[in-house]
Amino acid sequence: MDVVSRGGAFTIEWMAYNKKENPLYEHYDRLLEIAREYDLTLSLGDGLRPGCLADATDRGQVQELIILGELAERGWVKDVQVMIEGPGHIPIHQITTNVQLQKQLCHDAPFYVLGPLVTDIAPGYDHITSAIGGAIAASAGADFLCYVTPSEHLRLPTVEDVKVGVIASRIAAHAADIAKGVKEALGKDIKMAQCRKAMDWDQQIKLSLDPTLANHIRSSRKPTDKDVCTMCGEFCAIKLLSKEERWEYFDHF
């Protein structure tokens, strides 16, 4: 796919036209002076990030990562905070390795990943391919996730696209927080489970990541019995076994 980064393409085009070194690299010390004076955090970009699975973890990506690690150290020496931007398209089995490479080569600098998307064949659903990769990357040690919308690769996103993309990314981040044992992360799921057992639908909706959508879906097909939903209806396992007498038979075991 060659270069898929807009910033990377602009920079390479400028270099080719002027036959000069990347000015951001050549004058990096001056950039650090400005960043320190105005208390800026530099996000060191991934102009050679993979734009498809076939390019993942290739020589260009890894060599750039080595240079970004050197630039990160130079920033810290000048008392400037830096973070590293990471890859966009990575097969599932390479994600953990990519995070470990970044942490090693960039000296544990905060790592920001663009997805990563785990397949190239799902236009219209790239918020899902991104969430899958984001959950794995974050559980492996990535520090920030970039949301991806359903319109990725297809068009400029709408407001609704952005909402869907952000929620998908939040799901990925929360799943990773649970895997990493982040304090209070699992507690949210336990509260939801308790509300489901109690068949407290108002609280279930309130605790959800998108209460508006959850309420719309439940209200669109209301059950005859307000304690259950229309998935199982009268055969709801939770309601069938909700009364204590249902368990009396097993007391002698």
Average pLDDT over residues 2-31: 96
Other C-beta atoms lying within 10 Å of the C-beta of residue 236: 17
Q: Which of 152, 182, 212 is the last residue of a domain?
A: 182
Q: In the chain, pLDDT over 90 holds for what percent of residues?
A: 91
Q: In the predicted model, what is the mean pLDDT of the chain?
A: 95
pLDDT at residue 245 is higher than 70: no
The pLDDT value given to residue 240: 87
| 156 and 226 inside one domain | no
The pLDDT value given to residue 45: 87
Average pLDDT over residues 200-223: 96
| 204 and 170 inside one domain | no
The pLDDT value given to residue 33: 98
Q: Which of 155, 182, 209 is the last residue of a domain?
A: 182
Average pLDDT over residues 225-233: 92
| 145 and 225 inside one domain | no
| 162 and 40 inside one domain | yes
Cis peptide before 50 (omega within 30 of 0): no
User: What CATH number did the domain enclosing 110 receive?
Assistant: 3.20.20.540
Give the pLDDT confidence of 62-82 residue by residue, as tens digits.
Answer: 999 999 999 999 999 999 999
The pLDDT value given to residue 244: 67
d(CA 226, CA 204): 14
The pLDDT value given to residue 142: 97
| 135 and 240 inside one domain | no
Q: Which of 131, 151, 182 is the last residue of a domain?
A: 182
The pLDDT value given to residue 251: 73
Number of independent structural domains in the chain: 2
Residue that is written with structure tokens 């869907």 in the block: 164
Structural domain harbouring 202: 187-252
Q: Tell which residue, 136, 209, 208, 110, has the closest CA to residue 168.
A: 209
pLDDT at residue 167 is higher than 90: yes
